Structure 1
Amino acid sequence: MRPEWLAPLAAVSWLLCLLLACAGIGRMLARICLAVGALLLIIAALWQLPTGLAMPVLAAPWGPMGSMRFMLAPDALWLLLFGAIAAFFATALGTTSFRWRSWCAGAALSMLGALGCFGLQDAVSFLVAWEVMSLGGAVLLIGEKLGDTCEGHGLFFMLSLLEVGAVALLAAMLMLMHSAGAIDFDSFVGVGAAFATWRRVVIGLLLLIGFGAKLGLLPFYEWYPGAYGQGSGASGALLSGVVLNAAFFALARAFTNWLPSDVALAIITVAVGVFSAILAVLYAFQESDWRRLLAFSSAENAAIAVTMLGASQLFRGEGLAALAGLSFAVALLHLAGHALAKGALMLAADGAYRASGKYELIQRGLLRRSPWLYGIGVVFASMSLAAMPPQAGFVSEWFTFQTLFQGFHLAGMAGRLTLSLAGAGMALTAAIAFATFVKLAGLGILGDAPKISPGAGHGHAWATGLLGLAVLALAVGMPWWLSAVDSAVHARFADVSAVPLHDGLILVPLTNTFAFISPTKLVIVCPLLALLPLALLGLSRRRHRLRRVGVWFGGLPKPAHGTTTPLAFSNAMRTFYAFIYRPTDDVEQEQNHSEYFVQEMRHSARVSPLFEAAVFRTPTRIVQSMAKALGPLQSGHMNIYLGMVGVLLVLILALGLT
């Protein structure tokens, strides 16, 4: 069998899952079909990536518009591979909700749409696949209701913002199709060279809005926590992996192939990416729910990749092809590590839910009660997303800084200043992300475990552990993985012959005279260096008796539950950045027959969304006012409906007589 036939077989497997879910039969078989489809894509990508070539084109009749072509480029294969690995474990385990039918149908639609976004080669079929992917995400979440958004507010907010993006995307595609005179993507290549600067910027902004709505760029990241917080971790693994990677691939193809590099558009893209990353990680730090925290983190990591895409266009606009290729390669590396790490933590969240019935970050001793692979996976994935060595996230963020530091090669002052400020913004993002994942790992899996408390199940422990080990394997094997990245860059940038990113086992940003690291050697050296403090610890234990003392509580008696809470961990940052968070504190008291005797006191602390009041509230009120004004039309009175039909009949007769 040839590798190009594996993707259609994966689509057939997902269609079978969709049929089973709609019929309501074969729950286990439906999940097997989902997992088999993801596995087929993994095999196809691993088969084709070493060749350095795109997957051969498959064509099918597409009515009067010619044939519908499907082809996976090397960068599409790269992003699809790591998204599919996370999707395989997520679909094999399934949702933690009992409503499996809508979840399986939504998962099948999401992955079918994502596969279409990766491979379809014309505007019409791509837009159909894009909408199918959005519809699949809604169906995926609509039946789970595992959070406090059971009314569906988060889901409808997601759909409304995604449709705003879809309208912007449609407008950009129509403008490109009108100029190219065809719907095929090949005809879009270079068509923007004849545009005026303002028109290129307008089309670029429409594409940034259209794809950024799904990537979580500002202000669209505000739909992430509400939607993710309604579903399971398995849903989050799909949305943060294959779906997010598909959206980035579509944006990268549009910017690199269809529009010539424009300095103004590149600066806007970098600015949007940096501010999105900072705001998303600031809000992630304040969350006390596994899924909502990881949702904001997904928006942050997507924004980092978009920042590097903007830097790539900035370098390319000044003829620095090698640096442009380096920036694009860094974005691919970052999303690969993110898909694996985020899949591990999303499934770890499902393990925590199965153990306690909650997704809340509470120290309940999961590490002590769960299989050892669970803790390994959570720690390795958290280290990667916190950019700690030697994990994959550390490698990609190190490359990010080394690329931004080379902004001095740019001739224009605007470009130099943009990349300098972007480096500062990425440093702030990395610092807050470090604290965020210390919080997630410390509050999520540590603490004393009640004797009757169960741990995460073996299935989620194995999935979390294997994905965490895959993150480490990606970092350790980076010198070999980079050959696939190099072919992906060369396929997207024809003017870049090679991007030297490693010198043997040493990783370098184009040259080893600028900077270098080696995660492959770090994995060997770090355990050896750890022998010295371990030996000192052993000697001190032999000379000094171990003494256990209680925790200091400010001179007060030890409370019943002396654990660190999410609010206590993040309150200092909330106070410092109060101008962004605008925090609110509410205290409710419940009296028992008298106002002098308080039976229960409840305290809640929240942060306010930054764009909800300034951007989204006014359109929401307009729509609600229009719905209220048109409400009498749905009164149910027969006389009103007959009157409407009569008025419509008169209008039709009047138009016919004129």
Structure 2
Amino acid sequence: MNANPLFAIAVATWAAAALLSPVRRAHGIIRALLGFGCLLGTLACLVALPFGSVPVSLGVSLASQAVSFAIEPSGLWLLGFGLVPAIFACWLGSPLARSSGRWYAGASFGLLGALGVCGLQDGISLLVAWEVMSLGGALMLVGERAEENGAKPVLLMLALLEVGTIALIFAILLLDHAAGGMGLALFAGHAATFSDVVSWFAGIALLVGFGAKLGMLPFYEWFPRAYSSGSGATGALFSGVILNAAYFALSRGWNGWLNVAVQDHTAFGLGVIAIVLGVISAILAVLFAFQQDDWRALLSYSSAENASIAIVMLGVTQLFRADHLADLAGLAWTVAMLHLAGHSLAKGALFLTADGVFLASGSYDIVQRGWLKRSGFLLGLGAVFAVMSLASVPPQAGFVSEWYVFQSVFQGFHLSSFIGRLVLVLAGAGLALAAAVALATFVKVFGLGLLGLPDVDGISIIPRSNAVSVGILGLCVLAVAVGAPLWLNALAAGAQALFSANSPQAMVAGWLLVPLTDRFAFISPSRLIIVMPLLAIVPLALLWLTRRRAVRRVPVWFGGMTTDQRDAMTTALTFSNAMRTFYSFVYQPTISAEREHEQREYFIKRLVFSSGVTDLFERHLFGPAVKIVIICAEKLRAMQSGNLNFYLALIGGLLMAILLLTLV
């Protein structure tokens, strides 16, 4: 069945939503259009898998280059899973959106851009779609209380993304010169003939360009600022369909447009670079996620960490490819796809949970208010499944993909190079550290953000629409893990086309998931959901046997004082302070205290304590760069003297320089 009509209708609904966005009374219709378009896009991806969509010409040209559309299986996989949380995010809308409709226009542009990045088949239209996707993200943030948050987060995001865009333009032009055309099929068709210099420079440029949106260091520092200036709905789109589109573009570029299939040292070198940068990015991102006390900032850092893990798997793919281990290369490639699929669903669930917390309390702070106790079963079910997945707890999707990540790294003994084996050993250690901190981070999210004592001065509950959405997404997370033996076959055609190896099929042995062979290791989430409830029989039996004994409740003892129990609750700072102290060489913590006195300094009227951590790259990279730009601007200010004769002299000098260049 041809999925292109479904994609066309989805594009039409998103375009209609963008056109209607200025109409204030139509915002309910716009949300329905956006959500319906996401649903159609998801169905189109399901229809087109496992072989990819049918190529179709769009009947337009950009710079004499005909524009066509087709999505390969891996793009359909990532786009489809990214659109699922987008359905609920668009349906619910942003709780911070103003009546201007800019958020709805931004969501439309972001979705259209993501679809274009996945499907457009030439370099020029790819760059246009990439910029449309970035513009959509900026519009969403501008439409959400931008006057209160200031423009700095959006400007920082756009500035860093434009650095990536410049790198992408360089890569596309370089590949165009080497292939003799802008078509992506030309890039892939001539990849084997590219020189090492072309592949190296293009590969690094693609990593920088697409890595800017994936949160690779140093770009991850725009994540918490931008996400924290927006809503959870915006975060669900950013961490779902937009992030997945960026990773697909990077994976397609590295695996299809470079000479990595024929030049072993190019594949090996690029793989080592991706692994090193990915591991460091994952560690730093999750360490800073652990210190956040805002739902959106914490989840944004976590998104950068998970994208970095996918980049590590892309690097592992290149290492195995350099040693002509096609099955293992396909394994690592498939693991990255599986990892981002589960991440999209789980992160979407938690971002919508954050919006529910905001709607009920007016704040995105991670504070114990006992939301689960009074907000219904579906919210708790979806949130706990999402947290378990992101913390890599069985039997959720995150556990399956994280297990596969380590199984892929453990296959390093197959490599012939000592450096390659050493890199994978160190990568495994770094990823283990990141996984451990991620577990603590999501214990903090669930324990402090959703549990605890209810507020004594309010009985607000999380809206039912948010709770239902979170519950459905949480069940989808579980379904990805339980149905993995079935879903993985959707990537078989893509792996076969890239590596001439059907690794996804070899990763399944009946209802077991294996790293290509069941003699090395195996798990079975499908069976775990049967076994784990059976294991609960023992504690349930103990509860039944002790049901006649009354439960004794006493106040929490702390410091020998018996006061309000809320005074003894763990806060976000106390939970994370030990880690902040231990890793102070990374965090470089800052502490300040301000005192207000009544009459004399002995009588303190008010004490304001604040603490934080230092943003490494802002302090050591972005800050100095801004100072250099300001200094240069001050030096060049003399050129803006307002003197007409001076301006005419400048123009004359430029004309003389152009004339001399043409003569030479």
TM-score, with length taken from structure 2: 0.94
Residues 305 and 335, structure 1, Cα contact 8 Å, conserved in 2: yes
Could you tell me how far 1:405 is from its partner in structure 2? 0.4
Could you tell me how far 1:520 is from its partner in structure 2? 0.7
For 1:483 and 1:98, the matched residues in 2 are separated by 40
For 1:630 and 1:25, the matched residues in 2 are separated by 49
Task: Work out whether 1:170 is the aligned partner of 2:175.
Answer: no
> 1:120: which partner in 2?
120
For 2:248 and 2:9, the matched residues in 1 are separated by 22
Residues 320 and 329, structure 2, Cα contact 8 Å, conserved in 1: yes
> 1:313: which partner in 2?
318
Residues 146 and 232, structure 1, Cα contact 8 Å, conserved in 2: no
Moved more, 132-141 or 227-236: 132-141
Could you tell me how far 1:630 is from its partner in structure 2? 5.6
> 1:637: which partner in 2?
none
For 1:136 and 1:498, the matched residues in 2 are separated by 34
> 2:183: which partner in 1?
184
Residues 194 and 259, structure 2, Cα contact 8 Å, conserved in 1: no
Moved more, 646-655 or 308-317: 646-655
Residue of structure 1 aligned with 2:483, choices 469, 472, 477: 477
Residue of structure 2 aligned with 1:621, choices 617, 622, 627: 627
Match of 1:518, as an amino acid?
A: S
Distance 1:630 1:25, change over 3 A: farther
> 1:65: which partner in 2?
64
For 2:314 and 2:54, the matched residues in 1 are separated by 24
SS in 1 for 2:149: coil
In the TM superposition, 1:635-646 aligns within 5 A as 641=642, 643-644=643-644, 646=645
What residue ranges of structure 1 are gaps of 5+ in the alignment?
Answer: 635-639
Moved more, 301-310 or 54-63: 54-63
Task: Work out whether 1:48 is the aligned partner of 2:52.
Answer: no
Task: Work out whether 1:551 is the aligned partner of 2:550.
Answer: no
Residue of structure 2 aligned with 1:363, choices 361, 368, 393: 368
For 1:303 and 1:651, the matched residues in 2 are separated by 48
Residues 493 and 502, structure 2, Cα contact 8 Å, conserved in 1: no
Could you tell me how far 1:649 is from its partner in structure 2? 4.0
Residues 96 and 354, structure 1, Cα contact 8 Å, conserved in 2: yes
- Post-superposition Cα deviations, 1:140-176, rounded to whole Å, max 9, x if no partner, equal 10121379x7122211111111111111111111111
Distance 1:146 1:337, change over 3 A: farther
Distance 1:375 1:81, change over 3 A: same
> 1:599: which partner in 2?
605
- Post-superposition Cα deviations, 1:467-522, rounded to whole Å, max 9, x if no partner, equal 01110111111111111122332243345576411111111111111111110110
For 2:339 and 2:651, the matched residues in 1 are separated by 59
Residues 146 and 229, structure 1, Cα contact 8 Å, conserved in 2: no
For 2:299 and 2:655, the matched residues in 1 are separated by 59
> 1:277: which partner in 2?
282
For 1:467 and 1:624, the matched residues in 2 are separated by 47
Residues 349 and 359, structure 1, Cα contact 8 Å, conserved in 2: yes
SS in 2 for 1:72: coil
Could you tell me how far 1:196 is from its partner in structure 2? 4.3
Residues 364 and 445, structure 1, Cα contact 8 Å, conserved in 2: yes
Residues 168 and 205, structure 2, Cα contact 8 Å, conserved in 1: yes
> 2:450: which partner in 1?
445
Residues 176 and 191, structure 1, Cα contact 8 Å, conserved in 2: no
For 2:373 and 2:20, the matched residues in 1 are separated by 39
> 1:373: which partner in 2?
378
Could you tell me how far 1:633 is from its partner in structure 2? 7.9
| Number of residue pairs the alignment of both structures matches | 648
For 2:128 and 2:184, the matched residues in 1 are separated by 15
For 2:653 and 2:558, the matched residues in 1 are separated by 83
> 1:222: which partner in 2?
221
Match of 2:467, as an amino acid?
A: A
SS in 2 for 1:26: helix
Match of 2:533, as an amino acid?
A: P
For 2:599 and 2:189, the matched residues in 1 are separated by 77
TM-score, with length taken from structure 1: 0.95
For 1:340 and 1:633, the matched residues in 2 are separated by 53
Residues 97 and 146, structure 1, Cα contact 8 Å, conserved in 2: no
In the TM superposition, 1:507-586 aligns within 5 A as 507-542=513-548, 544-559=549-564, 561-586=567-592
Task: Work out whether 1:138 is the aligned partner of 2:138.
Answer: yes
SS in 2 for 1:390: coil
Moved more, 553-562 or 407-416: 553-562
Match of 1:622, as an amino acid?
A: I
Could you tell me how far 1:618 is from its partner in structure 2? 1.4
- Post-superposition Cα deviations, 1:385-408, rounded to whole Å, max 9, x if no partner, equal 000000000000011111110110
For 1:77 and 1:655, the matched residues in 2 are separated by 50
> 1:348: which partner in 2?
353
Distance 1:630 1:11, change over 3 A: farther
Distance 1:517 1:654, change over 3 A: closer
In the TM superposition, 1:491-506 aligns within 5 A as 491-496=497-502, 499-506=505-512
For 1:558 and 1:201, the matched residues in 2 are separated by 65
Residues 234 and 346, structure 1, Cα contact 8 Å, conserved in 2: yes
Could you tell me how far 1:545 is from its partner in structure 2? 4.2
Match of 1:359, as an amino acid?
A: Y
In the TM superposition, 1:402-441 aligns within 5 A as 402-441=407-446
Residues 9 and 37, structure 2, Cα contact 8 Å, conserved in 1: yes
Moved more, 127-136 or 533-542: 533-542
> 1:111: which partner in 2?
111
Match of 1:4, as an amino acid?
A: N
For 2:176 and 2:550, the matched residues in 1 are separated by 78
> 2:14: which partner in 1?
14
> 2:264: which partner in 1?
none
Could you tell me how far 1:628 is from its partner in structure 2? 4.4
Residues 412 and 420, structure 2, Cα contact 8 Å, conserved in 1: yes
Distance 1:547 1:655, change over 3 A: closer
What residue ranges of structure 2 are gaps of 5+ in the alignment?
Answer: 261-266, 660-664
SS in 2 for 1:231: coil
Distance 1:548 1:63, change over 3 A: closer
For 1:219 and 1:165, the matched residues in 2 are separated by 11
> 1:201: which partner in 2?
200
